């Protein structure tokens, strides 16, 4: 398998961009295909059998496009990672998971809120994690409908969730485990609701794991062939600046191919806009 072929990443929408952003910090020279499955979004309401078939279809597409590794950038889909690895032994599959172990390692004595989809919270994978590292000061919040609201950029629904569901934990928790990649896109809204909490998110550890897997299999791309494009927009009109910024966002990441299962151009614009923003965990 050639080192120069791409890494495939998929999510139920654009939430996995928060994972890709961490991967790019560690593996900037690689080429990527990002598959946004907005057609089947949300994954949380699918049966295990339905979700497995969806994941297999996407993995098959990415393998057909000669990807050398697959990243599951969706916590809900990652609950099936063990089954998928058994079925696709020919390719490394790296999956995101809620960073609950990090709470055990770094903030064991502090009250913690785990925000995730209902399916993730009910999964065997997460419950094994909880059983092994439970600090007995943990609240579990199944955030029904939140990922979908974030995917659709529905600010009204997001704020409604903050007030009705999240605000009750204000002053009660010091840590928040981000158990869905979409929630990382609204970190500031969560912080405004809960106060000065510490976030635990598994994207950075996933990126390190991906690098280890590529090195182990001799698949790291070492030569930096991805040149960024510099465009000056200082003297453009406001409307022209917005269009230009969207172009810049895509031009900055020529090493990333974006595919949306609904062929939604707006998703693509938001995806590249987020990648170009200076946000960190």
**Active-site residue set:** 74, 180
User: Do the strands 175-178 and 198-200 form a parallel or antiparallel pair, or are they unpaired?
Assistant: parallel
> What values do phi and psi take at 129, rounded to 5?
-60, -45
Residue 214: strand, helix, or coil:
helix
Beta bridge mates, 225: none
Place of tokens 């997460």: 126
Q: CA–CA separation, 82 vs 93, rounded Å?
A: 9
Contact at 8 Å (CB) between 190 and 176?
yes
Question: Which H/E stretch holds residue 42?
Answer: none
Between 238-251 and 265-276, two packed helices, what is the crossing angle to 10 degrees? 80
Residue 248: strand, helix, or coil:
helix
Distance of CA 275 to the CA centre of its chain: 12
Distance of CA 276 to the CA centre of its chain: 15
Q: How many residues are given for the chain?
A: 281
Q: Across the chain, which distance is largest between two alpha carbons, in Å?
A: 57
């Amino acid at each position: 398998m050639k080192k120069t072929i791409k890494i495939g990443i998929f999510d139920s929408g654009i939430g996995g961009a928060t994972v890709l952003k961490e991967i790019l910090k560690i593996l900037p020279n690689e080429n990527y295909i990002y598959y946004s499955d907005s057609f089947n979004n949300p994954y949380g309401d699918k049966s295990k059998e339905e979700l497995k078939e969806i994941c297999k279809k996407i993995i098959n597409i990415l393998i057909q496009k000669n990807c050398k590794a697959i990243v599951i950038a969706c916590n809900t889909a990652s609950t099936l990672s063990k089954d998928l690895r058994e079925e696709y032994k020919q390719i490394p599959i790296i999956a995101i998971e809620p960073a609950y172990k990090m709470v055990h390692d770094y903030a064991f004595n502090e009250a913690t809120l785990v925000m995730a989809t209902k399916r993730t919270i009910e999964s065997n994978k997460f419950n094994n994690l909880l059983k092994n590292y439970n600090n007995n000061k943990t609240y579990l919040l199944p955030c029904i409908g939140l990922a979908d609201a974030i995917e659709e950029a529905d600010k009204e629904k997001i704020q409604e969730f903050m007030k009705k569901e999240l605000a009750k934990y204000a002053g009660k928790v010091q840590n928040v485990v981000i158990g869905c990649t979409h929630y990382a896109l609204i970190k500031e809204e969560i912080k405004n609701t809960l106060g000065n909490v510490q976030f635990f998110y598994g994207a950075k550890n996933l990126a390190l794991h991906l690098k280890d897997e590529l090195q182990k299999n001799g698949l790291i791309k070492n030569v930096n062939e991805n040149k960024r494009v510099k465009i000056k927009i200082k003297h453009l009109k406001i409307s022209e600046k917005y269009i230009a910024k969207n172009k810049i966002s895509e031009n900055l990441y020529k090493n990333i191919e974006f595919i949306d299962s609904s062929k939604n151009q707006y998703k693509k614009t938001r995806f590249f806009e987020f990648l170009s923003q200076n946000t960190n965990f």
